[in-house]
Amino acid sequence: MRTGVWLVGARGSVATTSIVGALALRAGLADPTGCVTELPELRGPALPAFADLVFGGHDLVCTPLTKRAESLADAQVVPARLVAALTDRLAAVEDDLRPAPTGGSQADRADTLVRELTAFRERHALERLVVVNVSATEPVAAPHPAHADLDALRAALAGPDEVLPASSLAAYAAFTAGAAYVDFTPSTGARLPALAQLAARHALPYAGHDGKTGETLVKSVLAPMFAMRNLAVRSWSGVNLLGGGDGATLAEPAANAAKVESKQRVLGETLGYVPQGHTRIEYVEDLGDFKTAWDLVTFAGFLGTRMRMEFTWHGCDSALAAPLVLDLARLTAAAHAAGHSGPLPELAFFFKDPLGAPTHSLAEQWARLRDFAHRLHAGGADGPRG
């Protein structure tokens, strides 16, 4: 199944690492370590092969993709030998990267994106197209009356106001162009009633939000452990230190608040109560694309005995996120081909703040994902959903 992967923020670290990784896998230059869809429990004929993935996208910056890959190699995010071996293939992907539209009304910008997505699909004879948002985190969107109704939204987009944040405008364009949509960020994306109406009208699936790659991944394993052992978590505090473009974006208070809200939700929804403590995110430029998280958990056991645990997570954000971007593109394309539409709660395994998911337990999310993959490979027997 020839599948287009259109990346919003296509020249960023996560997007560039995803493209380099997919090209390396296609050329047999790397192993699929970190790609969940290559585990025996998920692998199967319904998923497009890595060789079937065709990359395009748009970004506000114009740095050549090869230069971005070389800078990531210098930072030890990707192996320099791969960048050198893939120079020609990266240059070919460059031909399908476009500047993010600016100026005019939001309707004008959406029309430009729809034309680019349609041309991309036709140019490469794509059977499916998935738009994946890996751009910078946005502040929480300001409410607007047009968010509640598709017809009102279309009318408002033609006016002078900025009705939709960029992530939601990308979702609007994706659905209008007949493409599925995945939001790997905590931005608003498709989480508006008017956009849900648009996706339903075109029978398109979508997934999100906020890729689960580090501290929250650990929380989603540990929090159910405390709940299942009936241990009372009294406090849970964390400090996240990160550099790179994401860190710089999260130095802005509004974007920082949106990210923290996404990270904290897992505790309250898993434990059934909110313990004391907060998660703090700080930008440390010297860390580059790497991040460190330190968490302190205090809890009480039998007879109120006080105890504590600490953990530290050191990781490379782009290297953790990129294989999941490829996984999500493959799974979403397969879900679309099988007739699924609307939000895909089965993909909650990948997200901090998943759409429509009843649980944040990683083990339960894994079981649901595994069952979903089995159904896809069996022919999508559960049929379409709206």
Distance CA 192, CA 143 (A): 10
pLDDT at residue number 358:
75
Q: Are 3 and 332 in contact (CB under 8 A)?
A: no
Specify the pLDDT at position 285: 87
Q: What is the pLDDT of residue 381?
A: 41
pTM above 0.85, yes or no: yes
pLDDT of residue 276: 94
Nearest-angstrom CA–CA distance, 335 and 97: 26
3-class DSSP string for the chain:
CCEEEEEECCCCHHHHHHHHHHHHHHCCCCCCCCCHHHCCCCCCCCCCCHHHEEEEEEECCCCCHHHHHHHHHHCCCCCHHHHHHCHHHHHHHHCCEEECCCCCCHHHHHHHHHHHHHHHHHHCCCCEEEEEECCCCCCCCCCCHHHHCHHHHHHHHCCCCCCCCHHHHHHHHHHHCCCEEEECCCCCCCCCHHHHHHHHHCCCEEEECCECCCHHHHHHHHHHHHHHCCCEEEEEEEEEEECHHHHHHHCCHHHHHHHHHHHHHHHHHHHCCCCECCEEEEECHHHCCEEEEEEEEEEECHHHCEEEEEEEEEEEHHHHHHHHHHHHHHHHHHHHHCCCCEECHHHHHHECCCCCCCCCCHHHHHHHHHHHHHHHHCCCCCCCCC
Per-residue pLDDT of the chain (386 residues; tens, 9 = 90+): 999 999 999 999 999 999 999 999 999 999 999 999 999 999 999 999 999 999 999 999 999 999 999 999 999 999 999 999 999 999 999 999 999 999 999 999 999 999 999 999 999 999 999 999 999 989 889 999 999 999 999 999 999 999 999 999 999 999 999 999 999 999 999 999 999 999 999 999 999 999 999 888 999 899 999 999 999 999 999 999 988 766 666 656 665 565 566 556 788 888 999 999 988 888 898 888 899 999 999 999 999 999 999 999 999 999 999 999 999 999 999 999 999 999 999 999 999 989 987 778 889 999 999 999 999 999 854 444 43
All residues at 6 or more sequence positions from 305 whose CB lies less than 8 Å from its CB, including other chains: none
pLDDT at position 89 is: 97
Q: How far apart are CA 364 and CA 369, in angstroms?
A: 9
- Exposure pattern of 167-180 as b/e (b: 16+ CB <10 Å)? bbbbbbbbbbbbbb
- Take residue 85 and report the two structure tokens written for it: 């071996």
Separation CA 78–CA 95 (nearest Å): 22
Nearest to 76 by CA among 220, 289, 225: 289
Structural contact between residues 329 and 5, judged by C-beta atoms closer than 8 angstroms: yes
Q: Which pLDDT belongs to residue 342?
A: 96
Q: Do residues 234 and 301 make contact, with C-beta atoms less than 8 angstroms apart?
A: no
What is the predicted pLDDT for the residue at 262? 57
CA–CA distance, 333 with 132 (Å, rounded to integer): 11
Q: How do beta strands 3-8 and 306-316 pair?
A: unpaired
* AA letter at 236: W
- Predicted local distance difference test score (pLDDT) of residue 248: 65
CA separation for the pair 266, 219 (Å, rounded) = 7
- pLDDT at res. 251: 58
Cα-based torsion angle of the residue sequence 280, 363, 131, 38 in order, rounded to the nearest 10 degrees: 120
Asked if 6 contacts 120 with a C-beta cutoff of 8 angstroms, the reply is: yes
Predicted local distance difference test score (pLDDT) of residue 216: 86
Q: How many residues does the chain have?
A: 386
Q: Is residue 81 classed exposed, middle or buried when 0-12, 13-18 and 19+ CB atoms within 10 A define those classes?
A: exposed
CA 234 to chain centre: 31
